[in-house]
Amino acid sequence: MRKKLPRAVYQKRAIDRNTTELMVERPIQLAQLNLKLETGNIAILEGIKGSGKTSIGNYYRFTTENVLTPEIEISCKPNIGVEMFIHNILAAITHEIHYKKPNKDGHEVYSDFHNISQSDIAQKLFKRYEPYYESGGSLSFAGFGVGGNKTYKENPSLSKVQLISDMKELGGVIAKSQTGHESRILIQLENFDISDKTSEYSEGDKLEKFFSSIRDILILENYSWIINGTEGIGRRLKSSDDGASDIMPEALIVPSVTLDECREIIDLRVKTYTNNQIKNFPITDDLLKQVYEICKPSLRELLATLSLLDQLSLESESINLDTASKTLFKTYPIYAELTTNRKKLMKAIFSNPGSNQTEIKKITELGQSTISENLSYLEENSLIRVRRVEKHKHYKLTTNSFLATHHIIKEKL
């Protein structure tokens, strides 16, 4: 049996401060981003989900000199108020300043900023905002690392005027932290999805109103911003009548990863996480091409699919990598064409294998005639298999449909 690959090879998360060496550089996008932030203080990265926008932004943040940037990206929900937004910014920055220390060799990306934590202003602001750092809550930071999966709850006694004043003070301290260098605070804003009709920013004017509400913050001196969103966000922000369109630059388009870039990314990860010990990497060029055709243009989906195929081929003696890929590719188009009710039934059976029609009805809340009719269709098309126990029929997914359903539901692609 072949050796299992480390899970990190298939990691879907974006590049962070500790994994910048895994970035397969995209020189055009990085050069464009650098130019935008050298000539202005806002850059918009636009592209489909999984195209690498967050990784490009993070790589720039964590490898650029004279920049103080939090470990995390900041998630922006439509219902976030201006006060909460500023709290998140200040708490993230003061937390970073206070806890981030240069290492013994002085190789920390912004080690020159370590003296800031001792300044009177930094100490004052840390004491003011750190108490509101708590786990949980309805609003949270995106990303991971220090502050990941946590939220800063706002202090209701602080007004917007006071909060902006604190941002200005902190920005002034950062700007003066290095002699002869212009330093700045760089924040990355996430979760502006306007491509999915179910997303909170897809309809209405919530996106435009949010940016209009934080316009005064976006134009503060000594701050730079990277805004990440799906296709069309640049046009929406530039054409807005809500008051922030005048400060918005043209969006930088992040194209989908190519097949060659996918191979380069995977080869780099295998080499890094296995010390180049695995000679015969199980993902062949032919298999990669097949997965790419299904998942393009999303790198995130591609990595998740490879991880699923690899895991299933390791866990089951009856499913090798070749069999797993063939069944997935055979079933995926069929699954994609199913009606909503049929997908709902497959999801229910996926989560509750062996369930009967009474149990499926409770889970799906569909009518009995709808369930019976659609289960017959799924059985006829070899997507489910039936086992009769006395008077009841019990349903499970076939191997083919399990792979497709696992790919779409379990991995949440």
Token reading at 382: 């070899």
Token reading at 6: 């480390």
Domains annotated for the chain, with CATH where assigned, are: 27-253 (3.40.50), 259-410 (1.10.10.10)
- Per-residue model confidence (pLDDT) at position 311: 65
pTM score over 0.75: no
- With CA atoms as reference, report the closest residue to 70 among 87, 44, 89: 89
CB 150 within 8 A of CB 98: no
CB 301 within 8 A of CB 413: yes
Q: Which residue has the tokens 């039936």?
A: 386
Token reading at 255: 């194209």
* pLDDT by 10-residue block (mean), the chain, 413 residues: 64 78 84 93 92 90 86 76 82 76 45 65 81 42 36 66 91 69 84 75 82 92 93 90 87 90 83 66 73 74 72 57 63 73 84 87 90 90 83 79 57 37
Residue 409, CA atoms < 13 Å, CB-side half-sphere: 16
- Per-residue model confidence (pLDDT) at position 222: 92
Q: What angle do CA 257, 262, 268 make, to 5 degrees?
A: 130
Q: What are phi and psi of 391, to 5 degrees?
A: -95, -5
For residue 14, give every residue at least 6 positions away whose Cβ sits within 8 Å of its Cβ, in sequence order, or none.
52, 54, 55, 58, 73, 143
- Per-residue model confidence (pLDDT) at position 195: 78
Residue 269 to residue 127: CA distance in whole angstroms: 41
CB 247 within 8 A of CB 42: yes
Q: By three-state DSSP, how is residue 183 classified?
A: coil
Q: Which residue has the tokens 């997965």?
A: 291
The DSSP bridge pattern shows strands 133-135 and 150-152 to be: antiparallel
- Per-residue model confidence (pLDDT) at position 106: 44
Please report, as a single letter, which amino acid is at residue 49: K
- Per-residue model confidence (pLDDT) at position 179: 47
In 221-305, the DSSP E strands lie at 223-229, 252-253
- Per-residue model confidence (pLDDT) at position 107: 44
